[in-house]
Structure 1
Amino acid sequence: MSGGQGQAAGGAGEGPVTGDGAPTGDVYEWFRRGERLLADGHPAAAEQLLARAAAAEPHSKSIREALARAQFDAGSYAAAMENFRAIAQADPSDDYAQFGWGIAAARLGDFETSVKHLALAVAMRPQAEHYRKALRHTRATLAARAGAFGPLLPGAPGYLPPQGASDRQGASDQQAATDQPAATDQPAATDQPAATDEQAATDQPAATDEQAATDQQAATDQPKDEDNQA
């Protein structure tokens, strides 16, 4: 992240050491010397010194951030990501920690995680061009890798909806609403009793004719009974 290319020829170690091999000075001196080593392009030596400082002061954000930068420049991407993640989890509003987490994840091939945290960093600090550049690069890499297995699906990191897709979806929804059958097309409930009334009207005359025949037979039979009595 600082552009360091490793330990320079001729060697650059932790500096003066005590009899037991520990660097001289206190934690603050280790931190300052580690930063100078990192700025001078010696990330491996800086990592050793800053790791000692971080072990002595595990809650120091400045020391942990410097250590993560040194680890990244030294190629220790997994260790760098762990330290950037620890800072971001302790303070989610730290845009640089989100950025470091994202680029370290990209170096490890975890582009989904990278896009997530780079996008957070850009949202927090949109004016940072190197944040935006890293996010564009990671999204392009993710899209290119996904393209080998077919187009990205909606919801996938890096997916962009095709232009005009929302308009086509709106037209489809409108057409579907038009095709729904109207409530007035349903058979009226009053049509069914009409058939019952018609059947009742048809059946009633038959019963009346039968009753008339019975009455006529009774009238015919009655005089015969009177003649017999006479």
Structure 2
Amino acid sequence: MTEGTFEAYRRAESLLAANRPLDALRWLEPVLESNPDLPSVHLLAARCYLHSAQFTRAERSFRRVLELDPTDHYARFALGRTLQRQSRLSEAITQLRMAAAMNPKPDYLEAVNEVRARMMLREKDTGT
């Protein structure tokens, strides 16, 4: 990453932290173009997409991170949350369980239990 793209990356991080994901994405676009194989760049883009409710793009970016680094437990967790927000619970719980198995953080375990509870309610409501 060149100095200029690193500065753009840091600016995008700051904008996301300030809850300005669309502005962050504008700064991040050239960084993505010049560094297509850096998981950290795709992860930041995925977080921006998620925070701006662009779930399909977020999913695609989180999956790209996992292609580049299958051991990234946070990307698995965030992918699970993204799928959950799309009501794709069976896919979500798979990713969340993997994240929790990789790193049993309380947030990850709580997310698994939350999705499991939603799935049980859905089954109860549909009678299956």
What's the TM-score once normalised by structure 2's chain length?
A: 0.91
- Structure 1: where are the runs of 5+ without partners? 1-24, 152-230
RMSD: 1.4
> Aligned residues, how many?
126
Secondary structure of the structure 1 residue equivalent to 2:70: coil
Equivalent residue in structure 2 for 1:143, among 116, 120, 127: 120
1:48 Cα deviation from its structure 2 partner:
2.0
Equivalent residue in structure 1 for 2:109, among 129, 132, 138: 132
1:32-181 equivalence runs, <5 A: 32-126=10-104, 128-151=105-128
1:103 Cα deviation from its structure 2 partner:
0.5
- Structure 2: where are the runs of 5+ without partners? none
- Find the aligned partners of 1:76 and 1:49 in 2 and give their Cα distance: 17
- Find the aligned partners of 1:75 and 1:51 in 2 and give their Cα distance: 18
1:47 Cα deviation from its structure 2 partner:
1.8
- Find the aligned partners of 2:55 and 2:37 in 1 and give their Cα distance: 21
- Find the aligned partners of 1:90 and 1:146 in 2 and give their Cα distance: 35
What's the TM-score once normalised by structure 1's chain length?
A: 0.52
1:62 Cα deviation from its structure 2 partner:
1.1
Equivalent position amino acid for 1:100 in 2: A
Secondary structure of the structure 2 residue equivalent to 1:26: helix
- Find the aligned partners of 2:54 and 2:29 in 1 and give their Cα distance: 13
1:139 Cα deviation from its structure 2 partner:
1.1
1:150 Cα deviation from its structure 2 partner:
2.0
Q: Which runs of 4+ in 1 moved over 4 A?
A: none
1:84 Cα deviation from its structure 2 partner:
0.6
Q: Which of structures 1 and 2 has the larger relative contact order (alpha carbons within 8 angstroms, sep 6+)? A: 2
- Find the aligned partners of 2:13 and 2:113 in 1 and give their Cα distance: 29
Identity %: 29
